[in-house]
Each structure stands twice: as structure tokens, then as C-alpha cells.
Amino acid sequence: MSQDSIGLSRRQILAAVGAIGTAGTVAGVGTGAYLSDRQRVTNALETGSIAIDVDCDACSIVDGRLAFAFDGLDRGDGDTITVSLTVETNPARLWLRTRCPPISDALGEALAVVFRVDGDTIAAGSLSAVSRTLATGVRLASCTDPETAIDLELEWELPDDVPDSVAGETTEFTVELVAEQCRHVDADSASDPFASVAPCEEPPDCVACPEQNGNRIAQATFAYDGPDGETTLELLRRSDTIEFERTVEPGETFTAVLHEPPEIKGSPDFDVVVDGTTIGDFHISCSQPFGPGLVIADGTYSLTVLEAVDTDGNPLCEVDI
């Protein structure tokens, strides 16, 4: 976790709330307001305001939103971020939503997280998936009394088996909060301030290798075929470095890591060598099509790509060659 993001502790954030109607629209203040650390938002209706006290030791406030930054992580790292929200004056309802993640976010897709409210799991999955799930909003409580805390937890872990290149990436989890006082708005009249918010754009099921702006192929799963019996198969980088070697039999599948700096890097050009004979080549720079369906063969031996992912963790689409 970035140390630059740590430092918000018992910072009081004020949100004006209305007495009649809903908490306002997402686009404007209306009869409600976002939590903001910059100013006290006043309301034209003389109904008072609600002070929300936020206690968080690993978050920051960016443009009136709570932000949790992730950087400098290594595989196997994990922790739980806690945030305590307390209504200090009038009873209030609180709504929360997250910001949509980028379509391509290698670290966001790799981080495994669980988001809880008062101990109850609200969403779980990758950080990006949880952000998409909560982007249309969720109400945290029906009506929160003053001094009664609402506890948010974001438990996260970077799994041991993610590519090393993902560990060097950065991402963030951003939360927006809206408050509405309960005193003059009963439960039946309460309205979701995020009701008009459109769902996040879903990431594509796969990406085409030639369109990946120079991204390399991180790993691929292959199927070998050839004459009966065992044979030695090598994936030889053009610098004559053997990146992968194993004994295979017809019908066998295997996965090879092709690019994972700093340990595995170099030329993007590979030769496929079977029992000392080069049967073909492929390129991991996406200078040529690569993906499921690609066949490297010499008429006797063949290697077929079954699955592949790029260095951003995107699965590659099937190729038609």
C-alpha cells in the first residue's frame, strides 16, 4: 500500500442534507451533497446539516471521494483496510457507490478483495469486479443514529501466482458517499441518489493481439501433436536462450511463461524446436497475429495455441489464419 495515501485520521467531513425529497442527484447538490473535505456544503432549506466523521488510516480524499491507492505491491501481499463512518448530529441514511475501473487494469483484475459493511460481505472478487458491482450504488443503512459507527472493510490480497509484471502496476479503489437525513424523510419516501447511474462498461471477453499497443504476450497454453512416443520440445528465444523445455507426447498440453520481467524477458521472437529441428516460429510482441487457433507446424510436428494472455492479463481472442 502506498505510504503517500496514508494520513487521513479522524478528519471530519461535512455533508449538507435536505429535509424533504431525496438526497439529490449525482450531478448536483440538490437536497443532498457528497462528502467533501474542502468546504461545508450549505443547504437552502433550514433543516440543519449532518456531520459525518470518517476514521481511516489508509485512504485519502480526492475530489470529495474516498480513495484507496495500491502500488508497490509484491505477490503474496495482503491486508484489510478499515473505514469507520459516524453520523454526529441528525440521524441519516448513507449511500455508497464506487467509480468504474479502467477497462484495462492488470492490477485491479489481479487483486482478490472482499468488501464488507458492518461485517456483512457486500461484494467479492477482483478489485475491478467489485468496483463494477458497486458502481450503481448501495445503501449502507436504513437510518443511522448519531454516534453509531458504520464500519467498512476492504480485505485485499495479491495472489502468489499472478505474473510478476502485475506486481509493479498501480490502481485505486474510489468511493463516493451521499447522505440524507431521516428526520423529515421516512423510509418509504427515501430515494436512491444513484438510481440514474448507468452500470460500468464490461471488459471485453478477449482482445486482439495486434491491437494491444505493443503489449507482449505473457504466457500461452499449447497442445502438442506429432508421431507416437516421447519427444523433446523447446521454445527457443532468438538469442538462443531456451526459455522452455520439456518432454511431451502427442495430445499433451502445457503452459509456458514467455514474458515476465525482470526474470523472463528479451527478444519477442521464438523458435519452436522439436528433437533439434525447428518446426516454426512465433512472436510475442503482437507484430504478427497470435492467439487461440494459431498452429505452428512443419507437416510432422505441430503446436497449437489453446489460450494466451497479454502482460495486462487480458485473454487473447482466437485468430483466423
pLDDT, tens digit, for every residue of 127-177? 999 999 999 999 987 888 887 899 999 999 999 988 777 877 899 999 988
Q: Are residues 10 and 136 in the same domain?
A: yes
Three-state secondary structure readout of 229-272? CCEEEEEEECCCEEEEEEEECCCCEEEEECCECCCECCCCEEEE
Write down the pLDDT at residue 210: 57
Q: Are residues 172 and 214 in the same domain?
A: no
Residue 193 lies in a domain: no
218 and 177 in a common domain: no
Co-location of 223 and 177 in the same domain: no
What per-residue confidence (pLDDT) applies to 253?
Answer: 96
Q: 33 lies in a domain?
A: yes
CA 12 to chain centre: 29
Q: Does residue 49 have a pLDDT over 90?
A: no
Query: Among 23-37, 121-135, 189-203, 244-258, whose mean pLDDT is lowest?
Result: 23-37
238 lies in the same domain as 305: yes
Select the more confidently predicted residue: 203 or 226. Answer: 226
Q: Is it the case that residue 23 has pLDDT exceeding 80?
A: no
From 142, 161, 181, give the residue that closes a domain: 181
For range 232-243, the mean pLDDT: 88
Residue 269 has pLDDT above 60, yes or no: yes
Q: Residue 15 pLDDT more than 50?
A: no
pTM value > 0.75: no
Residue 287's alpha-carbon distances to 1, 117, 269, 278, 279, in angstroms, are: 36, 47, 10, 21, 20
Query: How far is the C-alpha of 177 from the C-alpha of 175, rounded, in Å?
Result: 7
Question: 10 Å Cβ neighbour count for 299?
Answer: 6
> Is residue 77 domain-shared with residue 119, that is, in the same domain?
yes
Q: Are 151 and 244 in the same domain?
A: no
Residues 148 and 233 reside in one and the same domain: no
In a domain, 160, yes or no: yes
Instruction: For residue 294, give its domain range.
Output: 209-310
Express each pLDDT in 172-224 by its tens digit: 999 988 888 887 777 778 888 899 999 999 888 888 885 545 578 989 999 99
- Please tell me whether residues 20 and 137 are part of one structural domain: yes
Instruction: Please give the sequence-ordered ranges of beta strands (E in DSSP) within 65-214, or none if there are none.
Output: 65-70, 78-87, 92-98, 112-117, 120-126, 138-144, 149-157, 171-181
Q: Do both 159 and 11 map to the same domain?
A: yes
* 117 and 218 together in one domain: no
Q: How many domains does the chain have?
A: 2
Give the separation between CA 132 and CA 130, rounded to whole angstroms.
Answer: 5
**Domain containing residue 215: CATH number:** 2.60.40
In this structure, are 155 and 229 located in the same domain? no
Contacts (Cβ under 8 Å, ≥6 apart) of 67: 5, 59, 60, 61, 172, 173, 174, 175
Does residue 203 belong to any structural domain of this protein?
no
CB 269, CB 283: distance < 8 Å:
yes
Average pLDDT score over the chain: 79
Choose between 64 and 193: higher pLDDT.
193
